[in-house]
Amino acid sequence: MARKLVVGNWKLNGSLAANEALLAACEALAGVDMAVCVPFPYLAQVASRLGGMALGAQTVSEFQSGAYTGEVSAEMLAEMGCRYVIVGHSERRALFGEDDATVGRKAAAALRAGLVPIVCVGESLSERDAGRVMEVIGRQLDAVRESIGAQGLSRTVIAYEPVWAIGTGRAASAEEAQAVHAAIRRQLAKYGAPAAEIRILYGGSVKTDNAQALFAMPDVDGGLIGGASLVAQDFMAVCRAAITGD
């Protein structure tokens, strides 16, 4: 995978004024694909100020329409100009009860609407210490594969986010990230998906001081960036670290 993808995840942050200032200080760069996933109320504002970056949302309903108060469908996101949507983020799994099967159905809903789901997978610290990293990630990927098949997986982005590294300031080393990314790619190949063509991003305290080492790894195809995406200087520095020569 020659060209890398860097996606900012604003989480539950932003205001009209703050968004305006942040976007004014960001610009699309040659040699890297860039996107921002923002809270639903700001999709229209951000869509008008992207300047070459792609738009994404942070979650999506598994339902297309109906009596599901508070839900937002993939078709609605597509209509607002979204290209990407995050599904299965560890915060959605832990705080909002999304299980593996739900994540699979959300990925399927995104694909039906023409969106690219960014499917998040990752283990907790206790699971890592118990040597269960790929057991956990394999189970998470299995559920997605059951919903969308190998052909559907070819149209996704996978984001490896070790739960113990999200928002903690503690990141996996470049070598640790590479080992898991390579294992994920092998798992995708076992499904019959075109593993070499599927982007696998690293997310988990990616910052200006570790981005270059992470992105230099052969199976790390970019990053899903949390806190650093809220500071224009930091986000742009991370994106510059991901620039390839193509």
Percent of the chain at pLDDT exceeding 70: 98
Neighbours of 197 (CB within 10 A): 9
Kindly name the residue from 91, 98, 161, 181 that is annotated as catalytic.
161
Q: Which of 101, 89, 103 lies closest to 61, judged by CA?
A: 103
The structure's pTM equals 0.96
From the candidates 62, 89, 91, 123, give the one annotated as an active-site residue: 89
What's the mean pLDDT when you consider all of the chain?
Answer: 95
pLDDT tens digits for range 173-190: 999 999 999 999 999 999
Burial, 127: exposed, middle or buried (Cβ in 10 Å; 0-12, 13-18, 19+)? middle
List the beta strands (DSSP E) in the chain.
4-9, 32-38, 54-57, 84-87, 116-121, 157-160, 200-202, 222-225
Positive or negative torsion for Cα 224, 225, 229, 234? negative
How large is the average pLDDT for residues 136-157? Answer: 98
Q: What is the mean pLDDT of residues 92-104?
A: 97
- Flag whether pLDDT at 97 surpasses 60: yes
What is the pLDDT at residue 171?
72
Instruction: Assess whether pLDDT exceeds 90 at residue 170.
Output: no
pLDDT at 223: 98
Checking if the pLDDT of 244 tops 70, the result is yes
Q: Identify whether 161 is a catalytic site residue.
A: yes
